[in-house]
Amino acid sequence: MSLSLSLNINGQPRTINIDDPRITLLDLLRERLALTGAKKGCDRGQCGACTVLVDGRRINSCLALAVSLDGAEITTIEGLADGAQLHPVQVAFIEYDGFQCGFCTPGQIMSAVGLLAEGHAGADPERVRELMSGNLCRCGAYRGITEAVLDAQRVLAATAREDAA
Amino acid sequence: MNRFDYIRPATAAEAIAAAALPGSAYLAGGTNLLDLMKVGAARPERLIDISRLPGLDSIDWLADGTLRIGALVRNADLAYDARVQRSFPALAEALLSGASPQLRNAATVGGNLMQRTRCPYFYDMASACNRRAPGSGCDARLGETRLHAILGWSEHCIATHPSDLCVPLAALDAVVEVDGPNGLREVPLEALHRLPGDTPQTETVLRPGELITAVRVPTEGVALARHARYLKVRERTSFAFAVVSVAAGLELGGTNIRKARLALGGVAAKPWRALAAEAALEGGLASEEAFARAADLALAEARPSGENDFKIELARRLVVRALRDALTGTPADLPALPASPFAPPSGARHVA
């Protein structure tokens, strides 16, 4: 079975032919498109290392069939920075030590970008922790992650105010 | 994962025709089905991708205030809908107590109803499981049973239905709209899931090809909105299935209970409506004694299916707690840790 997909990946329109409908979005990104930022941790939707944005919303790419996403816009960690200018969430993760080994970090950062777009956390660290609970960190960098998310939110809000002014 | 044919029909009629063939399965959010397929617990020959069927992804309000949820509405969109939170707060609290934000962005309401048990023996292909392989036995029976049933189970199967959303839906008399080879019909949510008996492999009353198109929540439930809670005890405070959960709603007239709604999750192969407890509460005083009596009635038929007799007392206490919290009143804002009985007051930090 040959299937043709149109996907916009990190701003680039792509037409991709796949020979098997079993390919998940995660496997498509990693194995066919050499975008290895999203990680395969559990491959069961439990660890969040594979988190990417699909049409602006964070999902577990390991639990989505690529073929079912025909026409979607995908954003991965590779598409987050603006050239050499890191995204404010990336800057904040470095600033606040939001990682140690780094394996879960692309998923943590994409999840945080999704969280901030959703806008349900406010300035409440408890809500940030709850809304980041789909991303596991075996190094236990949760404190830094929470602080990074809150800081990135402040930076993004300040930038939005400057842009409006 | 087994090989399968992938079909993306343009209409519900095409989807139903394809799904009526043996070996077919509907695919929507895929968050449960793909997981099952990866371990081999589900091996469909044909996936019918219904995720783009038109007209099934809206939240509508009928003229009388009844909520109609399209089957393809994502859990996150339902949970954060302002009018849903106002009119049926227990639905939002239940939804936000389940899964993770990534999963809630993908998972659909129809899929939530149709999700399979999380019994580890059902997932483990090396274990005997009558639900997955009829006649093979039930390794859960003498196994780890913290997540297993205390109500409505049989020697053939002790699995529970894992949905949070279904628990308040059952309490609120929700109705499931179904389309199928023989046309449209409606099923009360409470009658959708079957108890295992000696055919645990038949999990719902849906027939081959039948497709859930919407769930209706009758307007009568809005009267409970000021006193409605969903509480969930789990092994960790977030991203875990219920050991026991309770949806409770009260409509008060002075200090008396005019109307009571009560359902339990994590205790049976279906969301467990506690009708006798509701009847005992209605017309009486809203008191600790009344709540304790209701809890006894709700668990009157309960018996352990393994080393899980603690769940009976846990469920009793959670019923009392949920009724007490409902009496106190629905919080103005959803708690930071939705449905957790251990949640600190809103906005407080539990790590100093």
> pLDDT at position B33, please?
98
- The shortest C-alpha distance from A160 to chain B (Å) reads 24
> pLDDT at position B297, please?
98
Instruction: Report pLDDT digits (tens) over B68-111.
Output: 999 999 999 999 999 999 999 999 999 999 999 999 999 999 99
Taking CB atoms and an 8 Å cutoff, what residues of chain A touch B238?
A: 129-130, 133
Check CB contact under 8 Å for B102 and A133: no
Judged by DSSP in three states, A17 sits in strand
Residues B33-45 have a mean pLDDT of: 98
Nearest alpha-carbon partner for B47 in B24, B29, B28, B22: B24
Taking CB atoms and an 8 Å cutoff, what residues of chain B touch A44?
A: 35, 38
CA distances from B130 to A56, B122, B133, B204 (A): 41, 8, 5, 15
Taking CB atoms and an 8 Å cutoff, what residues of chain A touch B348?
A: 126
Cβ of residue B344 closer than 8 Å to a chain A Cβ: yes
CA distances from A75 to A12, A58, A81, B175 (A): 10, 9, 11, 38
Within the 31-60 window of chain A, which residues sit less than 8 Å (CB to CB) from chain B? 43-45, 48, 51, 57-60
Q: Is the predicted pLDDT of residue A116 greater than 90, yes or no?
A: yes
Check CB contact under 8 Å for A134 and B239: yes
> pLDDT at position B223, please?
98
Enter the DSSP assignment of B302.
Answer: -
> pLDDT at position A1, please?
63
Q: Is the predicted pLDDT of residue B348 greater than 80, yes or no?
A: no
Pair of tokens at residue A30? 């990693």
Cβ of residue A146 closer than 8 Å to a chain B Cβ: no
Q: Does residue B345 contact residue B328 with C-beta atoms inside 8 Å?
A: no
Closest CB to A59: pick one of B6, B38, B106: B106
Q: Over chain B, what is the mean pLDDT?
A: 96
Check CB contact under 8 Å for A3 and B47: no
Distance CA B51, CA B31 (A): 12
Q: Is the predicted pLDDT of residue B200 greater than 90, yes or no?
A: yes
Q: Is the predicted pLDDT of residue A3 greater than 80, yes or no?
A: yes
> Residue A60 pairs with which residues in a beta bridge?
A51
Judged by DSSP in three states, B218 sits in coil
- With bands split at pLDDT 50, 70 and 90, how would you rate the model's confidence at B250? very high
Taking CB atoms and an 8 Å cutoff, what residues of chain B touch A114?
A: 101-102, 105
- With bands split at pLDDT 50, 70 and 90, how would you rate the model's confidence at A2? confident
Q: Is the predicted pLDDT of residue B343 greater than 80, yes or no?
A: no
- With bands split at pLDDT 50, 70 and 90, how would you rate the model's confidence at B241? very high
Q: Is the predicted pLDDT of residue A83 greater than 50, yes or no?
A: yes
Pair of tokens at residue B215? 């769930």
Q: Is the predicted pLDDT of residue B347 greater than 90, yes or no?
A: no
Q: Which tops the pLDDT comparison, B123 or A165?
A: B123
> pLDDT at position B350, please?
46
Taking CB atoms and an 8 Å cutoff, what residues of chain B touch A60?
A: 31, 102-103, 106
Q: Does residue A75 contact residue A107 with C-beta atoms inside 8 Å?
A: no
First and final C-alpha spacing in chain B: 46
CA distances from B334 to A39, A135, B29, B74, B90 (A): 32, 22, 25, 19, 10
Instruction: Report pLDDT digits (tens) over B124-174.
Output: 999 999 999 999 999 999 999 999 999 999 999 999 999 999 999 999 999
Check CB contact under 8 Å for A67 and B6: yes
What are the φ and ψ backbone dihedral angles of B38, each rounded to 5 degrees? -65, -35
Edge-to-edge order in the sheet of strand B242-253: B228-234, B242-253, B256-265, B272-273
Nearest residue in chain B measured CA to CA from A136: B239
A-B CB pairs within 8 A amount to 98
Closest CB to A134: pick one of B103, B336, B351: B103
Closest CB to A126: pick one of B101, B103, B337: B337
Taking CB atoms and an 8 Å cutoff, what residues of chain B touch A127?
A: 336
> pLDDT at position A165, please?
82
Check CB contact under 8 Å for B101 and A134: yes
Instruction: Report pLDDT digits (tens) over A25-50.
Output: 999 999 999 999 999 999 999 999 99
The residue to which tokens 């997932």 are assigned: B123
Cβ of residue B4 closer than 8 Å to a chain A Cβ: yes
Check CB contact under 8 Å for B103 and A3: no
Of the listed ranges A104-108, B62-66, B291-295, B333-337, the least confidently predicted one is B333-337
- With bands split at pLDDT 50, 70 and 90, how would you rate the model's confidence at B255? very high
